[in-house]
Amino acid sequence: CGVFGIWGHPNAADLTYMALHSLQHRGQEGAGIVCSDESNIYGARGMGLLPEAISQVKLSSLSDFNHAIGHVRYATTGASELSNVQPFIFKHSKGDIGLAHNGNLTNAEQIKLALESEGAIFQTSSDSEVLGHLLLKAKSDNKLANFKAALNQIKGAFAFLVLHPEQMFVARDSNGVRPLMLGKVDGAYCVASETCAFTAIGADYIRDIEPGEVLVFSHDGLLEDTYTTNTESHMCSMEYVYFARPDSEFRKHSIYEVRKALGKQLAKEMNVEADIVIGVPDSSLQAAKGFSIESGIPNEQGLIKNRYVGRTFIAPNQTLRERAVRMKHSPVRDVIEGKRVVVIDDSIVRGTTSKFIVKTLKNAGAKEVHMAISSPPLIHPCYYGIDVSTHAELIASDKSVEEIKDILEVDSLTYLSVEGMHEVFSQFDSKGECNACFTGNYPIEIVDHLLPEDK
């Protein structure tokens, strides 16, 4: 998912809309904006891409508010339905709350069961709703203290935005798995999952919000605090590899450069003779460029992407994904024909994309197809908010590289090593990363077993 929040700007809703538009790659199933006018909370939410989810009429009905949070949804837990689209609004006599979450909680089921046994009634099947209940249940009038106490009860990966009528709270989990950035536009502070949202609205990127950090925005300006000092940095490797936009920056480094370096490292680890190297557009073009620089094999554009097909991986079921992949990539015959081709992709999840790409390149006359992946084999599910959900879906979970090579009918298959990937991240001021889906080393305890295979 993608989140954005802005405090104290006369065009808060419009800017949120523009920012969400630039974060659309992080979620295409639903979107929403919730605003405050100091005394009340109002919002608009809908299913689908932003323009479908929030009409211009709905957006203009929010034009009088100075504070806003927004969300684009990518379903990891909870069904794809309107009730799960965020930001949520909680109506309460102590004051309404708007809430937006990117990530996935690993003890939400446990908390939910405890709250239900005390009489709570949940409105959604989303893990994010528990934070709202914890906030509203608190006895104290000190909202910040309540927020920090609630954050200390939840486990998992999160970037949370909470909008009270007169304050906005923001928090990043103590492992910093999901990104969250601080910016400023026309004197107003804003936060976003990625810095491309700042670029889209003309905001300055100030800094990354740190693991365990809590920020409070109000009439008194910005208050910087923490909910815990027991922190470690485990930024999601897949954000670097695949998920984030290449023009976004984490720790002041472009994802573009990180991906190029992953491609260079991959070339160092692979021994192949070939005529051209091509990337699977768009997410692997930078890695292909890096691979080409390091190996000396010329980089060509051998696959063209139909820009009107959305992110295929994000399509909610396999039939839709296969159809989308076929519509999405088309070969350039003159580039491919008679060539020994190295094709770079950022990752193989189910193998849907790779299988199709290999077939396409062979049909276009490639003499040899060597597949190189700019991340290690995805073996384990993600419990932290990226939809690499079950072992059964992951082609590498029970198959060797050799077996996958045969399934894909490719001449050779090479994955980047875990060490090589880490080596690259360290060049870019990474404070440490999560690599659990490659290694099984989960940095955050998984209390619930929410995933279908475990149910």
Annotated catalytic residues are 1
Distance, in Å, from the CA atom of 276 to the CA atom of 259, rounded to the nearest integer, reads: 19
Considering only residues 415 through 444, tell me which ones interact with ligand SF4, judged by CB under 6 A.
434-437
Ramachandran region of residue 445, left (φ > 0), alpha (ψ -120 to 50) or beta? beta
Site track for ligand SF4 across 125-164, x = CB under 6 A: ----------------------------------------
Shorter beta-carbon distance to ligand 5GP: residue 196 or 386: 386
Give the SS3 label for residue 368. strand
Distance, in Å, from the CA atom of 312 to the CA atom of 288, rounded to the nearest integer, reads: 20
**Total interface residues for ligand SF4 by CB under 6 A:** 12
Please select the residue that binds ligand SF4; options are 177, 303, 336, 357, rule is CB under 6 A: 177
Residue nearest to Mg ion (CB): 283
Shorter beta-carbon distance to ligand SF4: residue 138 or 447: 447
- Helical H runs in 23-84? 50-53, 56-60
Q: With DSSP H G I counted as helix, E B as strand and the rest as coil, what are the percentages for the chain, rounded to 5?
A: 35, 25, 40
Angle at CA 189, nearest 5°, toward 184 and 194? 65
Shortest Å, Cβ 173 to ligand SF4 = 11
Backbone angles phi, psi at 73, to 5 degrees: -105, 140
Shorter beta-carbon distance to ligand SF4: residue 17 or 384: 384
Shorter beta-carbon distance to ligand 5GP: residue 373 or 444: 373
Shorter beta-carbon distance to ligand 5GP: residue 62 or 358: 358
Which residues are at the interface with ligand 5GP (CB under 6 A)?
238, 242, 280, 283, 313-314, 345-354, 386-388
Shorter beta-carbon distance to ligand SF4: residue 244 or 386: 386
Q: What sign results for the dihedral spanned by CA atoms 49, 187, 103, 354?
A: positive
Stretch that binds ligand SF4, among 25-33, 230-238, 327-335, 420-428 (CB under 6 A): 230-238
Shortest Å, Cβ 7 to ligand SF4 = 28
Structure tokens given for 368: 């040899």
When CB distances are held under 5 to 8 angstroms depending on the partner's kind, the choice from ligand 5GP, ligand SF4, Mg ion, none that residue 387 binds is ligand 5GP
Answer yes or no whether residue 389 interacts with Mg ion by CB under 5 A: no
Considering only residues 283 through 302, tell me which ones interact with Mg ion, judged by CB under 5 A.
283
DSSP string across 71-132: EEE--SSS-SSGGG-SSEEE--TT--EEEEEEEEESSHHHHHHHHHHTT-----S-TTHHHH
Strand partners, 191: 5, 182
When CB distances are held under 5 to 8 angstroms depending on the partner's kind, the choice from ligand 5GP, Mg ion, ligand SF4, none that residue 314 binds is ligand 5GP
Shorter beta-carbon distance to ligand 5GP: residue 11 or 374: 374
Structure tokens given for 404: 């996958």
Backbone angles phi, psi at 15, to 5 degrees: -65, -35
Structure tokens given for 123: 């409105």
Shortest Å, Cβ 412 to ligand 5GP = 17
When CB distances are held under 5 to 8 angstroms depending on the partner's kind, the choice from ligand SF4, Mg ion, ligand 5GP, none that residue 72 binds is none
Stretch that binds ligand SF4, among 93-101, 113-121, 203-211, 379-387 (CB under 6 A): 379-387
When CB distances are held under 5 to 8 angstroms depending on the partner's kind, the choice from ligand 5GP, Mg ion, ligand SF4, none that residue 147 binds is none
Answer yes or no whether residue 238 interacts with ligand SF4 by CB under 6 A: yes
Stretch that binds Mg ion, among 11-19, 266-274, 276-284, 319-327 (CB under 5 A): 276-284
Is residue 75 within 8 Å of residue 82, measured between CB atoms? no
Answer yes or no whether residue 231 interacts with Mg ion by CB under 5 A: no
Residue ranges of E strands in 146-299: 156-164, 167-172, 181-185, 188-192, 204-208, 213-218, 221-226, 235-236, 249-250, 253-254, 276-279
Angle at CA 12, nearest 5°, toward 385 and 48? 45
Which residues are at the interface with Mg ion (CB under 5 A)?
A: 283
Positions in the binding site for ligand SF4 (CB under 6 A): 177, 236-238, 382, 384, 386, 388, 434-437
